[in-house]
Structure formats: structure tokens, C-alpha cells
Chains A and B, each alone.
Chain A
Amino acid sequence: MIFYLMRCLAMAKSKTTPDLILIIVTFLLLTVGLVMVYSASAILASYHFDGDSFYFVKRQLLFAGIGLFAMFFVMNVHYWMWRQWAKLGVLICFLLLIAVLIPGVGLERNGSTSWLGIGAFSIQPSEFMKVALIVFLARFLSENQKYITTIKKGLIPSLSLVFLSFGLIMLQPDLGTGTVLVMTCIIMIFTAGAQIKHFVFMGLMGLTGVAVLIISAPYRIARITSFLDPWKDPLGTGFQIIQSLLAIGPGGLLGFGLGQSRQKYQYLPEPQTDFIFSIISEELGFIGATLVLGLFCLLIWRGIRIAISAPDLYGSLLAVGITGMIAVQVMINIAVVTGLMPVTGITLPFLSYGGSSLTLMLVSIGVLLNISRYTKT
């Protein structure tokens, strides 16, 4: 422990300024998020909370504050620090994921028991598992990179851990988070240098797995068909996609203007969480939505850049893991709300309402920023 702190202090001397563009992008996303959470949730909030239209945005603001504080703190914590906690973190997260499945302990929301805790102060163990696994894999893969091209010593140990946690998450069930977790880990393994043919093989396995999952839970079939032709069952399985498209489409090039969404009037379910991008598209139009996508592109670009210029493989893998997690989550969310993918409940990083998710995202950015301070020249 002391050794690591010493080492951190030693390295602190060679610190440069963190990635400024990433900070700016983060602040921009955070600002857009707060404004849009207010716009999207005001009607619903004032309906449910006695006219308090600020109910959601106040909470989001609180978590943004906590998150930013944490981000700046973490930005100054040497990323090697987290390496130490990797094993313990993964272990604790495993226990939490199991705890959540015990009847009476986990809280059920929207058909999934993903939450632990009481009321507003509840956490999603699966969210923490994502981060813990990224740190763990970054360490494991950087230490065992020589085996990465092999199946036995490289792929199986890393993947077995990934799929064990995926399995636990799917028991909740939470396909969205599970997918993000798996995809993020695969990106890391890919970056570490695993063989392409192994990925092809895994891809086939994955497809088989998806098929099994679909067969095991028939409601997923309905979700898939509804995404192909939502108007077939406009009040049932196609409802959410249709309502999302009815927000995005009429927005047109310039949108109705901030605060002018119609679909947020209780047509679009959860306009401030999973479908906040639909409201953004409706109010700010194609141009506004494209700018938001552009911010995410900038974020990914900076993230990959940090990964490329990280001083060590561990740093590279940690950076790509964090960037990949954010990117995959953004992509799944956008694909869902624009009708390119079946509905999977997943939030849009930085923009959707949700305290623990926002805090975690900002902490992750903090880690990225820290890595950026040790950029090779």
C-alpha cells in the first residue's frame, strides 16, 4: 500500500496537464444533460411530485456535483492505484451481484431486480461490476499479454470471469448492462492483441448464445419483431419505438425548440432516462442531435488517443476499457431510440437522468483524465 502511494507521488512529478478537450466535452455533455433532463422531466415531475417540476433535475444536479467532485479527485489519483483494488473490487461486486438475486434483498424496478439499498439511496451492483471488471481485466491482460494469443492461458481465464458476471447480470435479468459489459471486455481483449480468428469463433458462439437467450425468454422475440415493424403492434411491443420515432421524426432539421417537446407529455415513457435522446432530437432537431453525437465522437476520439499515448499497456487497456464502456452504452442507446435495435433498457451516459450512473461516468472520466496526464511524448 505504502509502496504504491510512494510510487504515485514519484510519478506525480512527471505529471502534465490533463486532456483539456476531454474536460470541455465532459462539461458540455453534462450541461446538455442537465438542461435536457429538466426539459424532459418537468411535466412528469410536476404531475407526480405536487407541481415540483424541478424534482428530477435537482437530484441530477446534486449527483453531477458529487460526480464532478469525484472526477477531479480521481483525476489526481494515479491510475495505478486502482490496480491494487482490482481483485478485491471484482470479488465484492460478485458478492453484491449474488446478493441482489436473493429474494427480499434486491429491489425490483421495471421487471428487473438490479438494485440494492433503500429508496433513493440505492445502487446497481452491475454498474460497479462494469468498472471493477475493466480495472481487473486491464491488470490481468497487461500482466499476461504474452498468453493473449493462446486460448488456454489467455482467453479462457479472462473470458470465464466476463461470462460469469454476465450470467449473474442476466439472472436479474438486465440484458442491456450485460451486453455493455461483454462488449467492453471484448474490446479490451481485442486491444490486448488476441487473435482475429478467435474473435470469429467467439462471434459464432455469441450468436448461438443470443439464439439460446431468445428461445429461453419468449418476450425477447416480441421485442425483436417489434423493432423490425413497430406499427404491427402499436399499443403493445411496438409502443416505445413508435413513441420515440414520433418524437424524433417531427423534430425535423431544427426541432421544435428547447422545452417544446410534445412527446414528453406522457406519450413517451421515461423521457428523462432511456429516451432522453428522442426528446433532444424533437426539441433541437437533426442539427442538435448531430451535435450531441459529435460530442460523443470527440469523447471517444480523446479516449482512444489517451489509450494510444498511455505510458504503459495497463494504462492503454484501462483507457480503452473506459472509453469502450461509454461508447458501447451510447451506441446501444442511440440504436434503440432510433429503431435500429430492439428495445433494451439502457441509459445514455451523461445525458440520462440517473444518479449512480452519472457519478460512475464522471469518475471513469476522472480516471481517463489521470491517464492523460502521463502521456508519452
Chain B
Amino acid sequence: MRVSNVTVRKRLIAILVIALGIFFIFIVRLGYIQVFKNGWLSNQALNSWSKLIPYEAERGDILDRNGKVLATNISKPSVLVVPRQVRDPKKTAKKLAEVLGMSEKKAYQDITKKQSKVYITPEGRKISNQKASKIKSFGLPGVFIAEDFKRSYPYGNYLSHVLGFAGIDNQGLTGLEAYYDQQLKGKNGHVAFFSDARGNRMANIKDKYVPPESGNSLKLTIDKRVQSIIERELNLADQKYHPEGAIAIAMNPNNGEILGMSSRPGFNPENYKKVPQEIYNRNLPIWKTYEPGSTFKVITLAAALQENLVDLKNDHFSDPGFIDVNGTKLHCWKRGGHGDETFLEVVQNSCNPGFVKLGQKLGKDRLFSYIKNFGFGQKTGIDLQGEAKGILFNMKNVGPLEQATTAFGQGVAVTPIQQVAAVAAAVNGGYLYEPHIAKGWVDPKTGKEINQTSPIEKRQVISEKTSKEVRYALESVVAQGTGRNAYVQGYRIGGKTGTAQKVKQGGGGYMENNYIVSFMGFAPANDPQIVVYVAIDHPQNTVQFGGTVAAPIAGKIIGDSLSAMGVKKQKGGLQKIAKYPDQPMLKVPNFVGMDREELEAGMLDLKVDVVGKGRYVVMQSPQPGVKLNPGSTIRIYLGDKKEKGD
């Protein structure tokens, strides 16, 4: 009794069909894996087979505008160990320890780590070429020398805040090194060797070398000669005044190129690890925000001139020593006032009530609109990290008093770079430029420029004609007014002094006897080529006046820089006018009882040796009436009590 043969036959055929069907599925699956997923799986496989020995890309150099090297690299190879390839760990550890000057035990631990590759840190990182070639000569299996670099700043403290520095993995951490890290760092290369699961090299696949691509060199707008002058002057100021800080910026007003920029306290980027973070992280020229004081009057002046509200030579102002604003008396720095003066003299004398008057003529809206148009209250956009944007009054809270103080530079907080950009606009014909520090990129191999940054003009704030008037007024400040210490024969320097009060931290008014003294200058006045701002924070052993401390520094920087840049001295321009007609011999005036701000006017041709602290002069030596040569030193004793003069 058989189940019919037909059934068996049918079932056998069914089995065959099912089996072939299943094999068809396999073929489809294989096609999916081998053809469709081929690329993805190949990548996965390559990743799992290849072991990389990195070749660090050489970081781009940083050059000044004339190609002088400011930051570069020194070849410092690193030791890389592939533990699985190490044949004799004990022997290897001993040899490595010997050359690298480390304990054998630590070397052994490092090279037997269960990782695909190990850097011996820190002993084997960025070692000398001699050590590297010695290790290479041992021919130890599994020990490799990977190309690596150490960043080098050949001039030490020079330009350090701007340059910043790069860390151990050649990554930019601060300054330009961080801002332009992407372009500077290049692309790391590697040697990929293919190894089996135990890390032994596969014999039949060739090593693959992907060469590193060096980063491009960054060419700056910085002029090394100008920068050197700035560094020198700040060093001198540092020694002389022991200030809390110092700032200097030099910029080409016609395109926003920064020619030099420095600040104190400084640091050496190669030792950044030993420097407090707040020193290297704060690039004061773009970060420090403070009330500018009288340098800000340039803005009020430019606005008033642009709006045709004042005729400098013909309009007069009478300064009784104060001005009443809504019942509050705002005093001029000169006790008793300047009396009757033209508005040109208001500028020369830096007369506060006169500027309040100009502010009132402008009105709140126009004044603040000019302030904003000159770029205050927002970042200038300079290509550096950590720029601050300053603080302006909230327009809702601006009453007549706030408007009045703003007009002479109090109550607003700005950064040095904002002031430089604004004043540059005021004197260059009215064009506000974005300050910048990168001039272009240079191919490291050919030395050819790849691209150049073009200046960015943001807007025209005032007219050419107004700008000309501003230049004239500011030239007269240096020739005949409070800025006379900045005067350099033949360079037609214009400028404005500033003595800014510092707001106490945490509020509560201004600090006592603690000023930021500053000077904003430019030259030549008929065709400005450079704008220089110098600020000294709380200078010691001197009267804290912008005209006394900052103006001579700025004058020196401008004069030496123009000379270095090849700008010719010229004849003409405003001549320096002696303050006292009885030159050459000066009769020492009576300073006793004067307050410190008043001193500024009378001190210009005498050197001052200040003793003590306080707001008022209590004693002086020599006594009033003694005749001295200009440039002689007199000693002033300061105290807090106001003594009555004789």
C-alpha cells in the first residue's frame, strides 16, 4: 500500500522548488551586501583594518605686513607607540626611558596600554630632533616617530595679545591663533598601515601615506616697525608710571588696517601656562570698557559741525566755571571757568560747559544718533576674539543731565578700538571703516599671496568738509591747547586728551585718585595716515592727566611711526604757541590750592614730580615766583584738604 507515487513525486518537486527559491533569496541578499552596500561596508572594513600614525600639519606662520615672521613652528617630533607591535616591552621600555629621561616603569606602562596607539605624554611629546633620531636608530618594532611641531613666537611678549597662542595639539587657543585657527592649522596627514586583529602588519596591503597639508600663512596689517615703537613706548611707560594697565592702538584711518596694538600687562605666549588666565584672555584694546572722558568730545564736536550748529571761530561761549542743567551744576575742570572763548577755544581748552552747550544744541536724538553712527554701542567687528560692545544709556532713561554728561564723555562706556574707529572716521573724510588685522593669506610653499582682505567701509558719518574742520580743530588742540605735549615739529599732529574717571566696581560712584589718562591723536592733519590712541590706567608718581602722561607717549609713537613709514615732514600747519609769554625763563606759578584737573593747563612746560596722593595741591617746590627754564622739574605735594592759596 503506497501512497501514490504521484504524491511522492509532487512533493519532491515541491522540495526542489522551495530549495531553489531559498537559494534565489541568498543570491539577492549577496547582491544587496556586495553591490548595494559595498561602499559603506568597505569603509567600515577599512576603518577596522587600518591603523593611523598621524602626521601633524605644519601650522601657518603669522607675518607682519612686510613679511616679517611673528609666529612660526619648530620641528618637535613626538613618540608614538603601537603596543601590539612591540616585540620586547621590557627592552623597549628601557631604551625609551633612557632617551626620554623618564622612569622605566612609566615607559613600560605606557607601551603596554591596551590601546591601538599611545603617545608617551608628556615625556615623548614634542621632543628634540636629536632624541627623535636616536630613538629611530634603535629600530624598535612598534615605536614610531610622528612629525610634530611646537609653536614658536620669536619676539616673546611682542604683540602677544593679538597673536594669542596655540596649545600642545597645535590648536589655536586665543587671539588670532584661535580666530583664524581653521585656515592656520592645515590638514593633518597620516600613514595608514593595515594590520590584522592583533596589530601585526598585513603583508599584502601597502601602507598608505596621506601627506599633511600645511596651513596657510597669515599676513597681518600690523607693521612690525610701528608695533616695535608701541611696545617700546609702553615698556617705558610701564617702568616710569607703574600703571595698572596700558593700552596703545595704531590704525590707518583710511582703511581700518591696524598697524600696531599692544597692552600691559603683557605675557610671553610660549609660557602661557604660567600666566594668569585673565591676563592672556583679556585683549584690553578691544575688551576694556570704560568712560572715555574728553577724547569722546571729538564725537560731539563732529556732530555739531556736521549739523551746522556752530561756527568755531566766530561763535562765542562764556564759561563761568559751571553750567546749570536742570538745577544740577556741572563744573568745568578749571576753577573759575575759561571766561569768554570762541568755540575753537572751547575745544582747545577741553571746556566741559562748552561741550554741554554743543550737546544741548544737538538735542538728545541727534547726539545719540551720531554716537551710534560712529559705531558706539556695537562691536566694531575687528577680527579678534573677545571684543566688547560697550554700554550706552538706554534712550528711555536719557534726561537732560545724561545728555549733558554724554556730550563730554561721561556716562557712556566704550572700548579703545571703538574710539579709534570713530575718530578715524571723524578725520578721514567721514568714512567709518571696520578695523581689521588680517591683510591676506600667503601660500607657505610659493610665498605668493592667495587672497587679500579688502577694507570694509561701513558708512559715511560726516561730510568731507566737516571732517576737515574737525582736523583743524584737533590740530589746534595739539598746537595751542591741552594736547601740546604730543606736538612733533613737522608732522602736524592733531588730537584730544582725555582724563577719565573710573567707576567703582559694583557701583557707588567714581574711584578716588584713580584715572585712565588717554590721548587720541592723528597725523598729518591735512592727510591723516595714522590714528594713535594711548591710555594709561592709573599712572603712579605723576599728576594723572592725559595731556601730561598720555600725550607725550602718543606724540612719540606718531612721530616715530610716520618717520618709519616714510611719511615726509612738512612745512606749514599750525605752529606751537608757547603758553607763557615770558619764555625762555618761566616764573613758577602758584599751584597750591589748585585741584588736580586745573594743574593741567599750567604744567605744560614743566616736568612734574608728584609726591603724595589726593585731589589738591598742598605744597610746591620751588615756591611760586621762582624763575626756571622750560622743562625744569617742580615737585608738587598732593593732599585731600583744600588749602587756601596765599
Partner of B30, one of A187, A308, A338: A338
Q: How far is the CA of A253 from the CA of B37 in the complex (A)?
A: 11
Determine if B29 is an interface residue (Cβ-Cβ < 8 Å). yes
Cβ-defined contact, A265 with B12, below 8 A: no
Q: Is the interface of B mostly helix, strand, loop or mixed?
A: helix
- Other-chain contact of B27, A148, A246, A293, A300 (Cβ < 8 Å): A293
- Residues in B with CB closer than 8 Å to A265 are 49, 195-197, 202
Say yes or no for A124: interface residue by CB 8 A criterion.
no
Query: Interface centre among B11, B31, B48, by most A CB within 10 Å?
Result: B11
Query: Within residues 1 to 24 of chain B, which ones have a CB less than 8 A from any CB in chain A?
Result: 1-3, 7-9, 11-13, 15-16, 19-20, 22-23
Main secondary structure of the interface of A (DSSP, over half): helix
> How far is A338 from B25 in the complex, measured between Cα atoms in Å?
11
Q: Do A191 and B8 form a contact, CB below 8 Å, given A249-B40, A338-B26?
A: yes
Q: Is B44 close to A, CB under 8 A?
A: yes
CB interface residues, B 184-229, toward A, < 8 Å: 194-198, 202, 204-205
The yes or no answer to A286 lying at the interface (CB within 8 A) is yes
Does A267 lie within 8 Å of B48, measured CB to CB? Answer: yes
**A72-80, A127-135, A327-335, A364-372: which one contacts chain B?**
A327-335
CA A296 to CA B26, docked complex, whole Å: 12
B195 — nearest CB in chain A belongs to which residue? A265
Evaluate contact between A297 and B33: CB separation under 8 angstroms.
no
- Whether A300 and B33, one on each chain, are in contact in the complex, defined by CB atoms closer than 8 angstroms, is no
> Are A249 and B37 in touch, CB under 8 angstroms?
yes
* A281 and B204 form a contact (CB under 8 A): no
Nearest to B38 among chain A residues (CB) is: A252
B49 touches A262 (CB 8 A): yes
CB distance from B314 to the nearest CB of A (A): 86
Q: Please state if A145 and B27 are interface contacts (CB–CB under 8 Å).
A: no
B28 → A minimal CB distance (Å) = 10
Question: Chain B contacts of A301 at CB under 8 A?
Answer: 16, 20
A285 at the interface (CB under 8 A from B): yes
Smallest CB–CB gap between B196 and chain A, Å?
A: 3
For A322, the chain B residues whose CB sits under 8 A away are: none
Question: Chain B interface residue count: which class?
Answer: 35 or more
List residues of chain B with CB within 8 A of the CB of A290. Answer: 27, 30
| A68-120 contacts to B (CB < 8 Å) | none
Q: State whether A263 and B15 are in contact (beta carbons under 8 Å apart), knowing that A145-B1, A253-B35, A285-B34 are contacts in the complex.
A: no
Q: Is A266 an interface residue when CB atoms closer than 8 A count as contact?
A: yes
Q: A286-B31, A320-B12 are in contact. Are A249 and B45 (CB under 8 A)?
A: yes
Partner of A289, one of B3, B30, B40, B41: B30
A246 and B3 form a contact (CB under 8 A): no
Per the 8 Å Cβ criterion, residues 22-65 of B in contact with A are: 22-23, 25-27, 29-31, 33-35, 37-38, 40-42, 44-45, 48-49
Query: Could you tell me if B48 and A246 are in contact, using CB atoms closer than 8 angstroms?
Result: yes
Q: B26 contacts which of A145, A192, A335 (Cβ < 8 Å)?
A: A335
List B residues 334-348 near A (Cβ within 8 Å): none
A262 near B9: Cβ-Cβ < 8 Å: no
> What sequence of 0s and 1s flags, for each residue 231-252 of chain A, a beta carbon within 8 Å of any chain B beta carbon?
0000000000000011111111
Assembly CA distance A361 to B76 (angstroms): 64
For A191, list chain B residues within 8 Å (CB). 8, 11-12, 15
**What residues on A are CB-neighbors of B195 within 8 Å?**
265
Are A253 and B12 within 8 A (Cβ)?
no
For the complex, what is the distance from the CA of A304 to the CA of B3, rounded to whole Å?
18
List 11 other contacts, CB 8 Å, given A146-B1, A190-B15, A262-B202: A187-B15, A192-B8, A245-B33, A246-B44, A252-B35, A252-B42, A265-B197, A286-B30, A296-B23, A313-B2, A331-B23
Give 17 pairs: A residue, B residue, CB < 8 Å, sorted on A. A146-B1, A148-B3, A149-B3, A193-B7, A249-B34, A249-B44, A249-B45, A250-B41, A252-B42, A253-B35, A265-B197, A266-B197, A266-B198, A304-B15, A334-B26, A338-B29, A340-B25
Residues of B that sit less than 8 Å from A by CB = 1-3, 7-9, 11-13, 15-16, 19-20, 22-23, 25-27, 29-31, 33-35, 37-38, 40-42, 44-45, 48-49, 194-198, 202, 204-205
- Contacts from A to B (Cβ < 8 Å): 43, 145-146, 148-149, 187, 190-193, 245-253, 259-260, 262-263, 265-267, 281, 285-286, 289-290, 293, 296-297, 300-301, 304, 307-308, 313, 316, 320, 324, 327, 331, 334-335, 338-340
A-B pairs, 3 with minimum CB distance = A249-B41, A265-B196, A193-B3
